[in-house]
């Protein structure tokens, strides 16, 4: 198993230095951090994902958009292993992970956000993130006895809270935070697994508009050695924070490109105008 990587080491918060070097060497194709090859998923006769081939280079800030029912969540579920594909493959770096269970994909560095459950909601922000760090280290069973003494884990959790601009809320109960901040706690819990790839399915859903731009600002500013793929239906947020966009329609990739290319694409406009007329 290959565990070598820039985030391996004592410090949980990865530095952005190597990403800047990687970004400077444009021209050559860097190996994809994550890619799919001919990925398909059928539910009975219905094709929710159809021959999806995509590649996400390290450091990507990539949005997945498309009308309701386009297959966006299905694709994320195929990536995380929540669903098994009918055909096709998923590669994490050089590893073909198509048949890997979810927990093994997390160990290899691909994580999605988790909804804060009732247990986490009863903890403070800091306790929640310390628990997640301990869980990564296989020490979740003892956290409640030793949480105050887990200095390394606490330092790592505090660094994560800093990164997510949650330091001021460290000792608040998570359930008392505004929804936008709770979503940031969920992202902190995901980052505690030290992912190379972070998958976000509508992170701003259910959050007041005033908080969602802040949320995306924090997400976009995460270190570049975390590759981010997100689903978002608010086009203003998509065009502000995505560096590349894939449009899915009917389980198929309609087009992929930069925000400018997508905004100018008549096929994309047609899809969204059609949706507006029916919606």
Residue 234 sits at φ, ψ, to 5 deg, of -80, 105
225: its two tokens: 């050695």
* Host H or E run for residue 272: helix 266-278
Rounded Cα gap, residues 28 and 78, in angstroms: 29
247 binds ligand ADP (CB under 6 A): no
72 or 183, CB closer to Mg ion? 72
CB of 82 to Mg ion, least distance (A): 12
Given ligand ADP, Mg ion, none, residue 206, with its beta carbon under 5 to 8 Å by kind, binds none
CB of 84 to ligand ADP, least distance (A): 12
The residue ranges that bind Mg ion (CB under 5 A) are 72-73
Binding residue for ligand ADP, selected from 7, 40, 74, 124, defined by CB under 6 A = 74
How many binding residues for ligand ADP (CB under 6 A)? 10
Please say whether the beta carbons of 112 and 202 come within 8 A: no
Binding residue for ligand ADP, selected from 9, 69, 208, 217, defined by CB under 6 A = 69
CB of 233 to Mg ion, least distance (A): 9
Contacts of 143 (CB under 8 A, 6+ apart): 130, 131, 134, 135, 150
68 binds ligand ADP (CB under 6 A): yes
Any bridge partners for residue 90, and if so which?
Answer: 36
> Torsion angle, CA of 148/185/21/243, rounded to 10 degrees?
180
Rounded Cα gap, residues 234 and 49, in angstroms: 22
DSSP state for residue 34 in the 8-state scheme: E
66 binds ligand ADP (CB under 6 A): yes
84 binds ligand ADP (CB under 6 A): no
Binding residue for ligand ADP, selected from 61, 72, 181, 244, defined by CB under 6 A = 72
CB of 277 to ligand ADP, least distance (A): 18
CB of 246 to ligand ADP, least distance (A): 12
């Amino acid at each position: 198993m290959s565990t070598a990587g820039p985030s391996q080491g004592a410090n949980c918060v990865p530095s952005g230095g190597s990403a800047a070097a990687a970004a400077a060497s444009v021209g050559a194709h860097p190996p994809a951090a994550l890619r799919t090859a001919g990925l398909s998923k059928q539910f009975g006769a219905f094709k929710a994902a159809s021959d999806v081939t995509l590649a996400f280079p390290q450091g990507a800030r990539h949005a997945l958009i498309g009308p309701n029912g386009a297959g966006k969540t299905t694709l994320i579920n195929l990536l995380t292993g929540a669903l098994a594909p009918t055909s096709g493959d998923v590669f994490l770096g050089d590893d073909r992970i198509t048949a890997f269970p979810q927990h093994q994909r997390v160990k290899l560095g691909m994580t999605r956000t988790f909804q804060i459950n009732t247990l986490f909601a009863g903890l403070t922000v800091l306790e929640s993130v310390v628990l997640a760090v301990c869980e990564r280290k296989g020490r979740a069973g003892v956290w409640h006895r030793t949480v105050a003494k887990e200095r390394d884990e606490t330092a790592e959790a505090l660094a994560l809270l800093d990164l997510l601009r949650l330091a001021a809320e460290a000792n608040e109960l998570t359930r008392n935070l505004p929804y936008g901040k709770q979503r940031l706690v969920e992202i902190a819990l995901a980052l505690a697994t030290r992912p190379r790839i972070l998958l976000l399915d509508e992170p701003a859903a259910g959050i007041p508009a005033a908080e969602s731009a802040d949320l995306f600002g924090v997400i976009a500013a995460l270190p570049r050695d975390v590759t981010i793929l997100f689903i978002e239906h608010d086009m203003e947020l998509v065009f502000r924070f995505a560096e590349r966009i894939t449009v899915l329609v009917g389980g198929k990739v309609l087009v992929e490109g930069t925000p400018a290319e997508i905004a100018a694409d008549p096929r994309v406009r047609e899809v969204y105008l059609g949706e507006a007329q029916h919606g």
